[in-house]
Amino acid sequence: MFKRTITPTRTPNRLSYLWLAMAAALYLFTGGQWAIPLAAWLAPLFLLRFVRTQRPLPGLLLAWLVRFAVAAIFVLQGTQFPPGTSPGIGYYALVLFFSLVLVLPYLADRLITPRLQGFVATLVFPLAFTMIEYLISFGPSGTLNSIAYTQYGDLPFLQLVSVTGIWGITFLITWFAAVVNWAWEQHFAWPQVRGGGLLYAAILAVVLLGGSARLVLFSPQATLVRVAGLSASQAAVAVFNKQLPQETLSLLQSGKATQADRALARSAFTTLDDDLFARSQQEARAGAKIVVWPEASPTGANILQEDEPALIQRAGTLAQQEGIYLDMGLAVFLPDADNGPFLKDEAVLLDPTGHVVWTYEISHLVPGGQGLYVQGDGKVPLIESPYGRLAGVICFDLDYPGTIRQA
């Protein structure tokens, strides 16, 4: 039942560019701030359809341009860059290169699939796609752009990660694209596509049913612990923005601030820090046992390095007074230097006795952060607490499985 030879159309058809347009539109919703889970299943499907209905070279070039254009739009959102920074030409060149790499699975499918017979040919695309994502994970972007991230809300599906890592998610999404294209080339004739279609459906059903069963039948039995994640209030941020001009903040981030600039920043930073302490106390008195502040950000704690000891002492007093673990994300502005770095993106954990348990600095810098931030040693801090094991990483560190495995 799987013996039919797959023979992709060798010449463009009238709808080819419709499939390309649909793929481009759908890829816009597979990352950044606009991720829609279903789009991640459909975008590769239509781009694969386009490539298969084109001559190899022009089809792959257009696929590359689509991937680059979408990636460039994500970059222009700017959410992955430190405040006050923007991507340069070098970063767009890197995006252009990685866009080319992401087209390699389509190249593999276009060249290898026609030479294979039967349903087994559907494995070429997902295997190539998953392999490329895996290899990219060792590069400067880690798993940041993995298509698996789009399924963050599908808890039954995500249980597969405990067995295969995120690579199982990537494989099933892209295998779906190959299976649908295989059926498409059989004109969706049920006698020809029944076996392969049912096989894929059965595997996906086992994954979803197994994940659902794990959630329902083996749910955690441990006592729940209230954890509060908070940031400065909008009112405090508005006051801060009025107190500290963007020009002064830029001078701090470039090591060109005067003592007068630092004095102005100290006053503005106090507005955010006071608000975070007040909200932390409020959450603790509402029952939170662990309180977490955001990492270095416009809504997080900012402090001059010379003022950091006093801030930590204040945090220790609060942690001891309220009997909480307080994990403070801090943007620590270093004394002025000619060449940088000028900032520490730091996390400081205090235990219920008020003592500092760890001080951790981000180890994987976001694009644009090189030269701006101090880079940590990559050792993930761990402690045992009454609520279980606690570990801490910051931002981009989460996109490196090797780092997270330390916990």
The tens digit of pLDDT for each residue in 307-338 reads 999 999 999 999 999 999 999 999 999 886 66
Q: What is the pLDDT of residue 340?
A: 72
DSSP helix, strand, coil percent of the chain (3-state; round to 5) = 55, 10, 35
Predicted TM-score of the model (pTM): 0.84
Residue with tokens 């760890």: 358
Contact 302, 328 (CB under 8 A): no
- Number of alpha helices (DSSP H) and beta strands (DSSP E) in the chain: 14, 8
For residues 251 and 300, membership in a common domain is answered with yes
Q: How many CB atoms lie within 10 A of CB 19?
A: 20
The pair of structure tokens assigned to 347 is 């996390």
Any idea what DSSP says for residue 406? T
Q: Residue 376 falls within a domain, yes or no? A: yes
Residues 84 and 129 in one domain: yes
Assess whether 33 and 159 both reside in one domain: yes
Q: Is there a domain that residue 205 lies in? A: yes
Q: How far is Cα 13 from Cα 19, in angstroms, rounded to an integer? A: 10
Distance of CA 168 to the CA centre of its chain: 17
Does residue 341 have a cis bond before it (omega within 30 degrees)?
A: yes
pLDDT confidence tier of residue 238, bands split at 50, 70 and 90: very high
Identify the pLDDT of residue 34: 82
**Residues 175 and 237 reside in one and the same domain:** no
Exposure pattern of 266-293 as b/e (b: 16+ CB <10 Å)? bebbbbbbebbbebbeebbeeebbbbbb
Sequence-distant (≥ 6) Cβ neighbours of residue 189 within 8 angstroms: none
Residue span of the structural domain in which 93 resides? 16-217
- Residue 129 CA to residue 6 CA, distance in Å, equals 19
Enter the DSSP assignment of 365.
P
Total number of domains in the chain: 2
Pure H helices in 218-337 = 234-243, 246-253, 259-285, 308-322
Q: Are residues 278 and 322 in the same domain?
A: yes
pLDDT band at 90 (very low <50, low <70, confident <90, very high): low
Which helix (H) or strand (E) segment is 192 a member of?
A: helix 190-217
Residue 63: inside a domain: yes
Q: What is the pLDDT of residues 249-306, one digit of tens each?
A: 888 888 888 899 999 999 999 999 999 999 999 999 999 999 999 998 888 899 999 9
Domain co-membership, 20 together with 156: yes
Q: For residue 126, which of 15, 201, 44, 69 has the smallest C-alpha distance?
A: 44
Domain end among 217, 235, 254: 217
Task: Specify whether 250 is located in the same domain as 134.
Answer: no
Instruction: Indicate whether 49 and 172 sit together in one domain.
Output: yes
Residue 3 in domain: no
- State the helix-helix crossing angle for 190-217 and 166-185, rounded to 10 degrees: 160
Q: How far is it, in rounded angstroms, from Cα 278 to Cα 256?
A: 32
CATH number at residue 243: 3.60.110.10
6 domain residue, yes or no: no
Residue 84 has pLDDT above 60, yes or no: no
